């Protein structure tokens, strides 16, 4: 469903992704690990179409469609969702309004009518429950005064409401205590299904005890340098990344 071929991308004239190859089938969960500064977040940002990232080569197709020329809203319409690394605070805009606006925007792009407010409130309350957030969070300003764990659970709720087909989770675990991590992992696991794929970027093997991936890849120096099953995460925890850093020139 997502096919990334020889992807090259730069930030401020500096090449960060240097020919990255990755294929993800429907329903699969792929974990991406790798040293700091390797380009993991850059990959998510490039796929989501975030500003400031210049694609200089290669392709990325989602369900057969090249997404690299689309603007971020169009990518969301195609079912892509990037979560977790930079939760924005929007004081003065209630979380409920924000969530509804984001769902309506995607529905509009997809040619579907907006949900009516009563319907949406009911849905949002259900999702609040599912991620273990009090319903009062719907009335508060977006992320305003939320703890790290609350921001992530809120974003998970947004993801549940949007029902994307490709979810990219960047450092889902950073700043989470074990209870919050379990809530987020349970939410992700509940969303796993045969038509939805996940890219889970993490520094720590620990998360992968809760979100068990089908494949683990090491991204080092702008390329995938090793791929394996979930046991690769354990090996990395034991050995670190040093033995891989120079990578193989062919990627994976
Ligand atoms: P990772 O997520 O693997 O730790 P990143 O993708 O965040 O790595 O960063 C890869 C490299 O790109 C780093 O050297 C980082 O400093 C640089 N980089 C990423 N985003 C930006 C940006 N917006 N502006 C300047 N440099 C950036
Ligand atoms: Mg980093
Ligand atoms: Mg990162």
What ipTM describes this predicted complex? 0.93
Of 9-13, 22-26, 40-44, 180-184, give the lowest mean pLDDT range: 180-184
With a 6 A CB cut-off, is 16 part of the ligand 1 pocket?
Answer: yes
Residue whose CA is at the smallest distance from ligand 1 atom 14: 37
The pLDDT score that the predictor gives to residue 250 is: 42
For residue 53, give the ligand 1 atom closest to its CA: 23
Retrieve residue 243's tokens: 């033995």
CA distance 38 to 40: 6
Q: Which residue segments constitute the domains of the chain, with CATH numbers given?
A: 2-239 (3.40.50.300)
Long-range contacts of 40-44 (CB under 8 A, 24+ apart): 40/170, 40/201, 40/219, 41/85, 41/170, 41/171, 41/201, 42/9, 42/11, 42/16, 42/17, 43/7, 43/17, 43/199, 43/201, 43/219, 44/82, 44/85, 44/168, 44/170, 44/199, 44/201
Q: Is the pLDDT of residue 42 over 70?
A: yes
Q: Is the pLDDT of residue 247 over 90?
A: no
The model's pTM: 0.90
CA distance 99 to 76: 14
User: Which of 20-29, 80-89, 183-192 is predicted most confidently?
Assistant: 20-29
With a 6 A CB cut-off, is 11 part of the ligand 1 pocket?
Answer: yes
Per DSSP, what are the bridge partners of residue 216?
31, 228
**From 8, 20, 41, mutation site for ligand 1 pocket: most ligand atoms within 8 A of C-beta:** 41
Residue whose CA is at the smallest distance from ligand 1 atom 19: 42
Q: What is the mean pLDDT of the chain?
A: 90
Q: Is the pLDDT of residue 216 over 60?
A: yes
Mean pLDDT of the region 211-223: 96
For residue 170, give the ligand 1 atom closest to its CA: 2
Strands 80-83 and 29-33: unpaired
Q: Give the tens place of pLDDT for each residue, 142-200.
A: 888 898 888 888 989 999 999 999 999 998 777 778 888 888 899 899 999 999 999 99
Q: How far is CA 46 from CA 29, 57, 94, 121, in A?
A: 19, 12, 29, 33
Q: Is the pLDDT of residue 65 over 60?
A: yes
Query: Are 199 and 222 a contacting pair, CB within 8 Å?
Result: no
CA distance 166 to 200: 11
């Amino acid at each position: 469903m997502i096919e990334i071929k020889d992807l090259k991308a730069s930030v401020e004239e500096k090449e960060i992704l240097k020919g990255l190859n990755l294929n993800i089938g429907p329903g699969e969960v792929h974990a991406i690990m790798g040293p700091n500064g390797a380009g993991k977040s850059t990959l998510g940002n490039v796929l989501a179409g975030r500003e400031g990232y210049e694609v200089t080569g290669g392709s990325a197709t989602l369900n057969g469609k090249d997404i690299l020329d689309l603007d971020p809203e169009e990518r969301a319409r195609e079912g892509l969702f990037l979560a977790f690394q930079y939760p924005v605070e929007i004081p003065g805009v209630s979380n409920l309004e924000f969530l509804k606006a984001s769902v309506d925007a995607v529905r509009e792009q997809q040619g579907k009518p907006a949900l009516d407010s009563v319907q949406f409130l009911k849905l949002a309350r259900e999702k609040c429950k599912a991620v273990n957030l009090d319903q009062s969070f719907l009335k508060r300003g977006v992320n305003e005064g939320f703890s790290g764990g609350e921001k992530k659970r809120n974003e998970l709720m947004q993801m549940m409401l949007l029902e994307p087909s490709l979810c990219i989770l960047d450092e889902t675990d950073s700043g989470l205590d074990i209870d919050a991590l379990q809530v987020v992992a349970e939410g992700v696991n509940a969303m796993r299904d045969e038509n939805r794929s996940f890219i889970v970027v993490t520094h720590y093997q620990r998360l992968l005890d809760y979100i068990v991936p089908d494949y683990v890849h090491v991204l080092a120096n702008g390329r995938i340098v090793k791929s394996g099953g979930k046991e690769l995460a354990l090996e990395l925890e034991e050995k670190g990344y040093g033995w891989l850093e120079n990578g193989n020139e062919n990627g994976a």
